[in-house]
């Protein structure tokens, strides 16, 4: 089997890349080890989708097909420090309709897969696993567990943070575990969230309550491994009480409407995004702390940049050629690094003990809050990707 582009991994990053290439003449193969699981009820894995990512999903028709009743626009962000610091961002003040949308992971993934399955230029190989990968001058050859060999001019590693492809081609990584987990759960709330995303920087971690349904909120509590185990071990009523206390009762009483889950947090950088015939996207290319809510937005923007590069190729250009791939690497050089440094810096800053540092970080938040020009610039950069 011979292809132009072989995507390994059909999570949100890999599937969105394949779908973004639906109108091209490129012959695509997608290899995925498992079928997507659709949870019963609300998914606890939710994302704050930025306007730039929304435009990307809209470009391939995915956004319009998502169930509107399960998407919540975020109009305000309300951020609290651990000693009286307070920052409030408003879409209205920044001249935007919304700051982001909160969407369940499985909702986007199901829609992407529905499109993938019908896509004329995609051969979907799932479920299957990879056994070896070799790269030569003209093409890459992937051998699957059943012995089938798939040849392609370009291999895209979209196989997550522990990327097998990245390991096979010897791209080194710098991995820094935070020794923290993100504890996630959904709740019915007594009062409306008023389309506000709340965040509290606390001694026991960073608590985010994101607006989901009409009176439903989604929790991401980034905290030490030990505290995460403690939270997971609590009975439902005590867990709800802890979250109400941590969130200062902002949306009143809470009632669990999903299971709890936890995922490990790490910072991961790669030495290069591309090699001859190989490009990395999504978590295979970078992992960041979830406190900025940018993880999957970086993944979507990788897919978007790579898709744009591939779409614009002349018929004589080779999609796996290093000079072609370097354009993608250049396009993605800045944003992931900036996000990694800023979220890493913030998580370190709020993890530091001591009265002086606590005073300074809270004063810093209040100062920013009183500088509308700076505040709006920050909002515009976070949502639109430019000042």
Ligand X SMILES: Cc1cc2nc3c(=O)[nH]c(=O)nc-3n(C[C@H](O)[C@H](O)[C@H](O)COP(=O)(O)OP(=O)(O)OC[C@H]3O[C@@H](n4cnc5c(N)ncnc54)[C@H](O)[C@@H]3O)c2cc1C
**DSSP 8-state code for residue 68:** G
Q: Which residue has the tokens 């998914």?
A: 43
Q: Which residues pair with 286 in a beta bridge?
A: 269
Query: What is the CA 358 to chain-centroid distance, rounded?
Result: 29
Q: How far is the CB of 299 from ligand X (least distance, A)?
A: 4
Nearer to ligand X, 284 or 361 (CB): 284
Q: How far is the CB of 304 from ligand X (least distance, A)?
A: 13
Nearer to ligand X, 85 or 299 (CB): 299
Nearer to ligand X, 184 or 206 (CB): 184
Q: Which residue has the tokens 């909002």?
A: 379
10 Å CB burial of residue 147 (0-12, 13-18, 19+) is exposed
Nearer to ligand X, 13 or 62 (CB): 13
Nearer to ligand X, 78 or 159 (CB): 159
* Cα–Cα distance measured from residue 19 to residue 121, given in angstroms and rounded to the nearest whole number: 10
**DSSP 8-state code for residue 291:** G
Q: How far is the CB of 84 from ligand X (least distance, A)?
A: 28
Q: Which residue has the tokens 């699957």?
A: 144
Q: How far is the CB of 91 from ligand X (least distance, A)?
A: 20
Q: Which residues contact 273 (CB under 8 A, 6 or more apart)?
A: 279, 280, 285, 328, 329, 332
Nearer to ligand X, 160 or 351 (CB): 160
In the chain, what is the straight-line distance between the N-terminal and C-terminal CA atoms, in Å?
46
* Binding positions for ligand X, rule: CB under 6 A: 8-14, 31-34, 45-47, 129-130, 158-160, 164, 184, 220, 263, 282-283, 290, 295-296, 299
Q: How far is the CB of 78 from ligand X (least distance, A)?
A: 19
The CA angle 166-28-303, to the nearest 5 degrees, is 55
Q: How far is the CB of 226 from ligand X (least distance, A)?
A: 19
> Would the CA dihedral through 376, 377, 378, 383 be positive or negative?
positive
**Hey, is 338 helix, strand or coil?**
helix
Check: CB of residue 84 under 8 Å from CB of residue 373.
no
Q: How far is the CB of 236 from ligand X (least distance, A)?
A: 19
Nearer to ligand X, 213 or 290 (CB): 290
Q: How far is the CB of 290 from ligand X (least distance, A)?
A: 5
**Structural tokens at position 309:** 């590069």
* Cα–Cα distance measured from residue 106 to residue 37, given in angstroms and rounded to the nearest whole number: 7
* Cα–Cα distance measured from residue 161 to residue 170, given in angstroms and rounded to the nearest whole number: 15
Nearer to ligand X, 109 or 244 (CB): 109
* Cα–Cα distance measured from residue 233 to residue 262, given in angstroms and rounded to the nearest whole number: 12
Nearer to ligand X, 38 or 374 (CB): 38
**Structural tokens at position 80:** 């609290």
Check: CB of residue 299 under 8 Å from CB of residue 281.
yes
Nearer to ligand X, 211 or 290 (CB): 290
Q: How far is the CB of 387 from ligand X (least distance, A)?
A: 24
């Amino acid at each position: 089997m011979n292809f132009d582009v072989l995507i390994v991994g059909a999570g949100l990053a890999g599937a969105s890349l394949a779908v973004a290439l639906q109108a091209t003449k490129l012959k695509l193969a997608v290899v995925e080890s498992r079928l997507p699981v659709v949870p019963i009820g609300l998914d606890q894995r939710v994302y704050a989708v930025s306007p730039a990512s929304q435009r990307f999903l809209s470009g391939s028709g995915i956004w319009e097909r998502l169930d509107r009743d399960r998407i919540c626009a975020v109009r305000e962000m309300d951020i609290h420090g651990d000693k009286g610091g307070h920052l409030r961002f408003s879409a209205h003040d920044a001249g935007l309709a919304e700051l982001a949308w909160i969407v369940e992971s499985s909702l986007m993934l199901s829609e992407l897969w529905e499109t993938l399955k019908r896509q004329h230029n995609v051969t979907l190989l799932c479920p299957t696993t990879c056994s070896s990968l070799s790269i030569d001058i003209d093409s890459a050859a992937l051998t699957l567990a059943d012995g089938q060999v798939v040849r392609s001019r370009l291999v895209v590693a979209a196989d997550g943070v522990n990327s097998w492809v990245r390991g096979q081609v010897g791209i080194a990584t710098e991995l820094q575990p935070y020794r923290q987990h993100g504890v996630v759960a959904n709740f019915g709330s007594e009062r409306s969230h008023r389309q506000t995303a709340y965040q509290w920087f606390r001694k026991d971690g960073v608590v985010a309550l994101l607006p989901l349904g009409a009176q439903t909120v989604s929790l991401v509590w980034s905290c030490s491994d030990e505290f995460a185990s403690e939270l997971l071990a609590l009975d439902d009523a005590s867990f709800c009480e802890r979250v109400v206390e941590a969130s200062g009762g902002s949306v009143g009483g809470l009632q669990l409407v999903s299971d709890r889950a936890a995922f490990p947090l790490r910072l991961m950088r790669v030495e290069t995004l591309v090699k001859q015939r190989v490009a990395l996207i999504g978590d295979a290319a970078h992992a960041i702390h979830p406190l900025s809510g940018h993880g999957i937005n970086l993944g979507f923007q990788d897919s978007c940049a790579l898709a744009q590069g591939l779409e614009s190729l002349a018929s004589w250009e080779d999609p796996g050629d290093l000079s072609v791939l370097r354009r993608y690497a250049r396009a993605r050089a800045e944003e992931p690094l900036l996000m990694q440094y800023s979220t890493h810096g913030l998580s370190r800053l709020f993890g530091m003990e001591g009265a002086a540092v606590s005073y300074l970080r809270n004063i810093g938040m209040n100062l920013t809050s009183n500088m509308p020009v700076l505040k709006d610039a920050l909002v515009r950069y976070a949502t639109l990707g430019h000042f």
